[in-house]
């Protein structure tokens, strides 16, 4: 007879802090972060991977945490917006989002910022079309994307010294 796991012991490094827990095999990383690690900057939007509000950085890659099982992340490192408080690139992005009015209700902003930061980390001099493509998995229900793309492009321009 096959033994079905009812619980899985995990240790997940969240923003530099190891969190040990016993999770059900179907528990999402999103639920783990919000309800076990107390990391509420990760938002639950659609819970289907469509909106990107739950985006986190898992082992240096932006992922939608509602689509990842907590058990899959055992022994790995997860960063949320809180994990980038001292990060110069994230600070530049946050300032640029505010300057360009790219923050409306703010619900999508953590996912947008994490996606943009991860994208710029791997592609520091993108074209505007590449920025649009990079954030295409994150939905904003308040506005269009021009201000968000402007904010990311301004950070690129400042970092490259090409002016706004």
Q: 8-82 — its CATH code?
A: 3.10.20.30
CA distance 36 to 20: 9
Tokens encoding 9: 């012991």
Residues 66-75, buried b or exposed e (16+ Cβ, 10 A)?
Answer: bebbbbebee
Domain boundaries, the chain: 8-82, 88-157
CATH topology of domain 88-157: DNA polymerase; domain 1 (1.10.150)
Query: For the chain, what is the radius of gyration of the CA atoms?
Result: 17
**Residues comprising the chain, all counted:** 164
Token duo for residue 91 = 């600070």
Counting DSSP H helices and E strands in the chain, the numbers are 5, 5
What are the residue ranges in the chain where pLDDT is below 70?
A: 1-4, 159-164
Comparing 8-82 with 88-157, is the CATH topology the same?
Answer: no
Contact (CB, 8 A) for 14 and 42: no
The model's pLDDT over 36-81, given as tens digits with 9 standing for 90+, comes to: 999 999 999 999 999 999 999 999 999 999 999 999 999 999 999 9
pLDDT attached to residue 141? 83
Mean pLDDT of the chain: 93
């Amino acid at each position: 007879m096959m033994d079905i796991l009812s619980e899985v012991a995990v240790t997940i490094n969240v923003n530099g802090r190891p969190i040990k827990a016993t999770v059900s095999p179907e528990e999402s990383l999103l639920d783990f972060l919000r309800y076990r690690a107390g990391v509420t900057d990760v938002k639950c939007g659609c819970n289907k991977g469509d909106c990107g509000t739950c985006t986190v950085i898992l082992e240096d890659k932006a992922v939608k945490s509602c689509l990842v099982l907590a058990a899959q992340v055992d022994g790995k490192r997860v960063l949320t917006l809180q994990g980038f408080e001292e990060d110069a690139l994230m600070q530049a992005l946050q300032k640029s989002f505010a300057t360009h009015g790219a923050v409306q209700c703010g619900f999508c902003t953590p996912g947008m910022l994490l996606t943009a930061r991860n994208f710029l980390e791997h592609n520091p001099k993108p074209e505007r079309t590449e920025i649009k493509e990079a954030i295409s998995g994150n939905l904003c229900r308040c506005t269009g994307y021009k201000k968000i793309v402007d904010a990311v492009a301004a950070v690129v321009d400042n970092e490259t010294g090409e002016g706004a």
